[in-house]
């Protein structure tokens, strides 16, 4: 009887130790710093990646590309940087902060968006001179590539100085979209990825700004030099440029073939 008890105790201890060791194994995680313009699309890409690699967690933080560049230059704990341009990732690569040069994974376009409730029919940039348009939302050109593109488009249209007093600046493309969605601005120059996503696709109308009026917005990705799990980060990067993810980007207004 005593011997049987010892055997049972030993077996229970083995099971408990096995469960403990399994729980102590850290989950594989890819920490991503992502441009705010990706927010309507990246969750679907992340979900598709999870389906292919269920043992790898993806943690996404959204913000302005320029702000992430500054943070990563100072050692912010991310594994992958998904910028809304190639300039910021290139700078990090040249500074020795990444494991390789930028890889292009998406391309963006700027649109002019207005809420249906305004009753405005904005079919050109010149229409922003309408006296009913009191405020125009854009992302901050200093650190948001879409804001820079919006400002360039207005300048090339010969409208920037005349409209400068109407501009309201968001810290990111997402915040600029919030301004125009909530009525803090009558119009917004925003990423197409936001205009074609719910709820904005149902709430407003938009027109694409001619791509000849601003520099092409090419999104670049890099793996950070000090990535905690570079192997998992590389798997995510490969998935990002693969057929499934590229199909999602195209549906979400970020396809590389149409600009």
In a domain, 3, yes or no: no
Instruction: Find the length of the chain.
Output: 259
Nearest to 215 by CA among 125, 140, 153, 124: 153
Asked if 97 and 174 sit in the same domain, the reply is no
| Angle of the 87-94 helix axis to the 65-73 helix axis, nearest 10 | 10
Asked if 207 and 235 sit in the same domain, the reply is no
Asked if 101 and 45 sit in the same domain, the reply is yes
- pLDDT tens by residue, 19-58: 433 444 447 999 999 999 999 999 999 999 999 999 999 9
**Residue 7 has what pLDDT?**
42
How many domains does the chain contain in total? 2
- pLDDT tens by residue, 70-127: 999 999 999 999 999 999 999 999 999 999 999 999 999 999 999 999 999 999 999 9
Domain that holds residue 180: 109-213
Query: Which band of pLDDT confidence, cut at 50, 70 and 90, is reported for residue 9?
Result: very low
CA distance 207 to 205: 7
Residue 229: CATH number of its domain: 3.40.190.10
Report the predicted TM-score, pTM, of the whole model to 2 decimal places: 0.85
CA distance 133 to 180: 11
Asked if 131 and 90 sit in the same domain, the reply is no
């Amino acid at each position: 009887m005593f011997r049987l008890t010892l055997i049972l105790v030993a077996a229970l201890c083995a099971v408990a130790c096995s469960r403990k060791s399994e729980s102590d194994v850290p989950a594989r995680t890819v920490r991503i710093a992502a441009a705010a313009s990706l927010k309507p699309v990246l969750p679907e890409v992340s979900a598709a990646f999870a389906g292919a690699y269920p043992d790898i967690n993806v943690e996404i933080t959204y913000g302005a590309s320029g702000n992430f560049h500054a943070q990563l230059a100072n050692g912010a704990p991310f594994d992958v940087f998904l910028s809304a341009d190639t300039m910021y990732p290139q700078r990090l690569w040249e500074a020795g902060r990444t494991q390789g040069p930028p890889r292009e994974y998406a391309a963006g376009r700027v649109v002019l968006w207005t809420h249906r409730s305004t009753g405005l029919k904005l079919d050109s940039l010149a229409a922003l001179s309408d006296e009913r348009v009191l405020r125009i939302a854009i992302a901050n050109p200093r650190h948001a590539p879409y804001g820079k593109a919006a400002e360039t488009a207005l300048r090339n249209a010969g409208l920037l100085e005349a409209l400068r007093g109407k501009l309201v600046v968001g810290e990111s493309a997402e915040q600029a979209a919030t301004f125009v969605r909530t009525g803090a601005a009558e119009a917004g120059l925003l990423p197409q990825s936001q205009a074609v996503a719910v709820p904005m696709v149902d709430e407003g109308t938009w027109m694409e700004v001619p791509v000849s009026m601003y520099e092409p917005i090419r999104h670049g990705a890099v793996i950070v030099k000090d990535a905690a799990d570079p192997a998992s980060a590389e798997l995510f990067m490969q998935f990002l440029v693969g057929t499934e993810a590229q199909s999602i980007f195209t549906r979400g207004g970020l396809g590389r073939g149409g600009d």
